[in-house]
Amino acid sequence: MSRADLSAPLLSIFEKVKLEYLKAKKSGDLELARRKALECAKILRLLAENSPGLRDLYLEKASRWIRTARSLKQESGAEKPRIPPLSDNNLKIGLEDLIAKTRVKWNDIGGLWEAKRLIMETIVIAGLKRPESIKPWKGILLFGPPGTGKTLLASAAAGSLNATFFNVSIDKVLSKYFGESSKLISALYSLAREKAPSIVFLDEIDALTLSRRRETSDALRRALSSLLIQLDGLKIGGNEPLVLTIAATNAPWDLDKAILSRFPRRIYVPLPDRRASKEIIRICTRGLDISKLRLDDLAAKCVEKLYSGRDISNLCQQAIWNMVRDVNRDLYRLAELPYEKIRSMRLKVRPLLMEDFEDAFRKIRSPLTKKDIEAYERWNEKYGEY
């Protein structure tokens, strides 16, 4: 599951604001047209930040819109240009695009039995009728090394509830929406309530840490307090719509107390052990013949190399490609055929062999060390759920 890329929502906001500009210009409202042109410039700057490959193009376009706004100012004799904030309505349109479709099911996740059980339990308690003093959790914190299945768990939770899934990278929101982040967070929760049941997945929640930063901006403080207000204000159960926040971090030790205290349910999502590694290999090779593989040996090697679920998935992809290339030697030549003809042909496959994995193991390296893992384990002992 990929993280929320903000360029698609920003582009749709841009198109909308551009239309508003054209309309204003046509109707002769030059002051409104000037403000819309500045808004277009602002969105293009955000796009530039969001798309490194197209940065210069977007910045160049942004300067053109600034020039347009300047010329309109001269025509209308308006006040000093000021880049106006994105309107609430536009934020909401952008947010609609943060809604991710998820078809992930619990059995697409290898291992993590305890984490799955705790999340399922949280969802069930939120839904059941219960005595007033039993309060359901409003949020869950998932912590652990990168690529271990935190996003998958949140997606599966949403999938199992048939809930609206908001997949939000806090780091990206902060860098792309700048001063608008706090507004975006409130708008996000109001949309989540509207579209309940909802799962709001806040990835890289540590980006909201104030205490470890040398510099903290007002925008960051406002964003944090906006999130805390939303979390404190959420009511779950009874006739309230279910809005569950699942936050994730690879750096739990960075979190401020203010955030930690809102997430008393903290679940460790560790690297897969042998049994889990075997399950992940099975999931990643579905539909292929794996009867010739020594799964125990492969799993043991994954554990020894400190592989995450993502590493194992990459390993399997690599091994599958080795097999595909082996039995479809001149695959690229087919590119000369008409596409319809290609569609009618079938890719050749053979059973996966241990040799297919050998070169894949050489290529895939975990960025983690034993020390990193110990740090997660220590944090888990001190602050974790179990």
Q: Is 110 in the site for ligand ADP (CB under 6 A)?
A: yes
Binding status of residue 85 toward ligand ADP by CB under 6 A: no
Q: Which stretch binds ligand ADP (CB under 6 A): 252-260, 288-296, 309-317, 352-360?
A: 309-317
**Sheet containing 243-249: which strands, arranged edge to edge?**
99-100, 164-169, 198-203, 243-249, 139-143, 266-268
Is 230 a binding residue for ligand ADP by CB under 6 A? The answer is no
Report the nearest approach of ligand ADP to the CB of residue 144 (Å).
7
Token duo for residue 281? 């290999």
C-alpha span between 37 and 277 (Å, rounded): 53
Asked if 109 touches ligand ADP (CB under 6 A), the answer is: yes
CB 85, min distance to ligand ADP, A? 31
Binding residue for ligand ADP (CB under 6 A) from 148, 164, 169, 366?
Answer: 148
Q: Which of 227, 184, 223, 161 is nearest to 97 (CA)?
A: 184
Residues between 257 and 286 that touch ligand ADP (CB under 6 A):
280, 283
Q: Is 200 in the site for ligand ADP (CB under 6 A)?
A: no
Residue 124 neighbours by CB under 8 Å, 6+ apart: none
| Shortest distance (Å) from residue 102 CB to ligand ADP | 11
Dmax of the chain from CA atoms?
78
Candidates 4-12, 109-117, 157-165, 354-362; binding stretch for ligand ADP (CB under 6 A): 109-117
- Spatial separation of the C-alpha atoms in residues 112 and 273, rounded to whole Å: 10
Cα(103)–Cα(76) distance, rounded to whole angstroms?
Answer: 52
CB 343 within 8 A of CB 220: no
Amino acid identity for residue 36 in this structure: K
The answer to whether residue 169 forms part of the interface with ligand ADP (CB under 6 A) is no
Q: How many CB atoms are closer than 10 A to CB 58?
A: 20
| Cα-based angle 338, 340, 342 (whole degrees, multiple of 5) | 75
Nearest distance in Å: CB 244, ligand ADP: 17
Q: Which segment (15-23, 145-153, 232-240, 373-381) binds ligand ADP by CB under 6 A?
A: 145-153
Question: Which region, judged by CB under 6 A, interacts with ligand ADP, from 89-97, 150-158, 211-219, 296-304?
Answer: 150-158
* Closer CB to ligand ADP, 10 or 248, in the complex: 248
Helices (H) and strands (E) in the chain, counts: 16, 6
List 9, 147, 159, 384, residue binding ligand ADP (CB under 6 A): 147
Which residues bind to ligand ADP, rule: CB under 6 A?
1, 109-112, 146-152, 248, 280, 283, 309-310, 313
